[in-house]
């Protein structure tokens, strides 16, 4: 993977050991958050493996015009690293990337990071009771393995007939080609999700013609964005309680919208009314308005926020193609409705490999079975963090951790607390190996599936990336309030684990080692 433009780092081979206590994969919010908390916890024996040449994860990779967060910045940041200088309620991508770079530098993580260390294989060695991780930059080992690759790490490109023969330029929004001059070009955007609605207004300003291929219309509500004043920033700097109070206010306001996901009729009616009024204010043409009206319940897919998306679609140089891209014929992009458009550039805003993450094929248990082999019916993990049969493995931002209504950083921090508790427990009990029982994992997963019943995600007509297409199970989203995730999964409890004694080869009942 080629990183976006930004800070590039050279590894110093003698500064980062290959045999450590903890191996972490990824330098997005999950990996950097884990490393920072380890340092603050007094733990220095860890390495962070990063395939690119800079930190930042999705915020390093997504450099498309208009990239920004749709969660307020003071909540979309670490609680232990408040930033009084956020410029806006919803900060642009480059500002978030700088925050993550500052985190890596100021938390002392750079000496622990191995850049260009694309993971090729991770394997549990039952005899040594260690993970062996093979990368493009060498082999590393650790007692514990923590994956922090996230849901938005590897782009997804649909199989479009004839795409290989397209005569123009083609790229995914997460791998933006800055060498292509888009001014005056005929551009097609495939998709109408969270990325597309940020990108389309930017492209509409410079394209001679812009065609938007919309498979399904999103719900779009107003974006309550504003800049923070210098007075507010000064208050955030001077009053230690100001940012936590502001975070709490944002958090609980967002929590109120969870009722929409449980398909509470009054809540669904309310958000529909807000979205409908927003559409009617910004789009006068009845035909266009009809094409932009969703035919599913709000919350099934992420509810989007924008004040510029609808106005962009009303421009004379913009065409909404209310169907998916079907195939390509030379320089023509043909929709499922049979409409052909001559284009110079195709930009795919088609999401990521979320339900079947590529890292799952690289992580193997002691018998060579991969996570992908175990997850043939969809991702699953106990406490959304550990997988039975994969000892001393912790997955951050993995199965059932996504949120449609609040900040994923809140969930990641709860998971980090869980991991720290597990590490402390293992160390206090003679470095025992931790492996969650299959029964505990099965109960947890079944409870989540039961909890998902009656939500908009599993309702009639809902098709979204939250659902694994192989089984129809809810594998990505957390089907509850965000605060319930922390309540349930924010602290380690050994009761659901079997542990292997440091010198034994058998599983021990937990009661024997408490």
**Fold for the domain defined by 163-218+256-348:** FAD/NAD(P)-binding domain (3.50.50)
- Residue 382 three-state SS: strand
Neighbours of 226 (CB within 10 A): 9
Q: What token pair was written down for 471? A: 């089984």
Q: What is the per-residue pLDDT for 296? A: 87
Total-model pTM: 0.92
Distance (Å, whole) CA 483 – CA 227? 28
Q: What token pair was written down for 299? A: 């919350």
Q: What token pair was written down for 30? A: 């999950």
Strands 345-348 and 186-190: parallel
- Contacts by 226-235, CB closer than 8 A, 24 or more apart: 226/88, 226/89, 227/87, 227/88, 228/86, 228/87, 228/88, 228/89, 233/84, 233/85
- Residue 138 three-state SS: strand
CA 190 to chain centre: 20
| Sign of the alpha-carbon torsion through 40, 44, 47, 52 | positive
Distance (Å, whole) CA 428 – CA 492? 13
Per-10-residue mean pLDDT, the chain, length 514: 47 65 98 98 97 96 95 97 97 97 98 97 96 96 95 82 96 95 97 95 98 96 96 97 97 92 88 96 97 91 94 98 96 96 96 84 96 95 98 96 94 98 96 96 96 87 83 92 97 92 42 36
Instruction: Spell out the residues 6+ positions from residue 231 whose beta carbon is closer than 8 angstroms to its own.
Output: none
Beta bridge partners of 332: 329, 342
Residue 375: closest CA among 404, 349, 395:
395
C-alpha distance from residue 289 to each of 191, 317, 437 (Å): 18, 17, 52
CB 20 within 8 A of CB 134: no
Q: Quickly list DSSP for 355-379.
A: SS-GGGGTEE-TTS-BHHHHTTT--
Q: Determine phi and psi for 168, rounding to 5 degrees.
A: -105, -160
The CATH homologous superfamily to which domain 19-154+353-512 belongs is FAD/NAD(P)-binding domain (3.50.50.60)
Q: Is 226 left (phi over 0), alpha (psi -120 to 50) or beta?
A: beta
Distance (Å, whole) CA 285 – CA 289? 6
Q: What is the per-residue pLDDT for 510? A: 42
Q: What is the per-residue pLDDT for 4? A: 41
Q: How many residues are listed for the chain in this entry? A: 514
Q: What is the per-residue pLDDT for 94? A: 97
Q: What is the per-residue pLDDT for 501? A: 62
- Residue 393 three-state SS: strand
The domains of the chain are located at 19-154+353-512, 163-218+256-348
């Amino acid at each position: 993977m080629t990183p976006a433009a930004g800070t590039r780092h050279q590894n110093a081979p003698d500064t980062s050991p290959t045999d450590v206590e903890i191996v972490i994969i990824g330098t997005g919010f999950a990996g950097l958050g884990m490393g920072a908390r380890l340092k603050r916890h007094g733990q220095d024996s860890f390495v962070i493996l990063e395939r690119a040449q800079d930190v930042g994860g999705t915020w390093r990779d997504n450099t498309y015009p208009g990239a920004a967060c749709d969660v307020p910045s003071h909540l979309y940041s670490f609680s232990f690293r408040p930033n009084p200088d956020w410029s806006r309620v919803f900060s642009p991508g480059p500002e978030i990337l700088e925050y993550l770079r500052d985190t890596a530098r100021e938390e002392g993580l750079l000496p622990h990071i191995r850049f260009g260390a694309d993971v090729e294989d991770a394997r549990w060695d039952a005899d040594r009771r260690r993970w062996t991780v093979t990368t493009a930059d060498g082999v590393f080992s650790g007692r514990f393995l923590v994956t922090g690759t996230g849901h938005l790490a590897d782009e997804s490109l649909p199989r479009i007939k004839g795409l290989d023969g397209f005569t123009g330029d083609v790229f995914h929004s997460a791998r933006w080609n800055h060498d292509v001059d888009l001014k005056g070009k005929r551009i097609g955007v495939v998709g109408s999700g969270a990325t597309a609605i940020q990108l389309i207004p930017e492209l509409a300003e410079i394209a001679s013609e812009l065609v938007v291929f919309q498979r399904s219309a999103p719900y779009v509500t107003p974006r309550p964005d504003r800049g923070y004043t210098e007075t507010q920033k000064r208050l955030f700097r001077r009053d230690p309680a100001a940012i936590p109070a502001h975070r709490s206010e944002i958090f609980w306001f967002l929590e109120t919208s969870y009722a929409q996901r449980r398909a509470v009729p009054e809540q669904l009616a309310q958000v529909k009314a807000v979205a409908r009024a927003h559409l009617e204010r910004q789009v006068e043409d009845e035909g266009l308005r009809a094409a932009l009206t969703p035919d599913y319940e709000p919350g099934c897919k992420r509810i989007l926020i924008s004040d510029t998306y609808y106005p962009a679609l009303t421009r004379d140089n913009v065409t909404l193609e209310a169907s998916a891209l079907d195939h390509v014929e030379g320089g023509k992009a043909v929709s499922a409705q049979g409409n052909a458009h001559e284009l110079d550039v195709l930009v795919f805003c088609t999401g990521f490999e979320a339900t079947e993450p590529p890292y799952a094929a690289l992580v193997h248990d002691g018998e060579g079975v991969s996570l992908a082999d175990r997850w043939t019916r969809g991702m699953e993990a106990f406490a959304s963090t550990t997988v039975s049969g994969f000892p001393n493995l912790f997955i951050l931002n993995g199965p059932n951790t996504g949120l449609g209504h609040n900040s994923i950083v809140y969930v990641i921090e709860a998971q980090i607390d869980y991991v720290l508790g597990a590490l402390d427990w293992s160390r206090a009990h003679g470095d025992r190996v931790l492996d969650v029982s299959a029964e505990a994992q099965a109960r947890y997963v079944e409870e989540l599936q039961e909890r998902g019943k009656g939500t908009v995600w599993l309702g009639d007509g809902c098709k979204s990336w939250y659902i694994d297409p192989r089984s129809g199970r809810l594998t990505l989203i957390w089907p509850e309030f965000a605060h319930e995730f922390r309540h349930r999964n924010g602290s380690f409890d050994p009761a659901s684990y079997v542990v292997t004694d440091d010198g034994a080869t058998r599983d021990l009942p937990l009661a024997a080692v408490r």
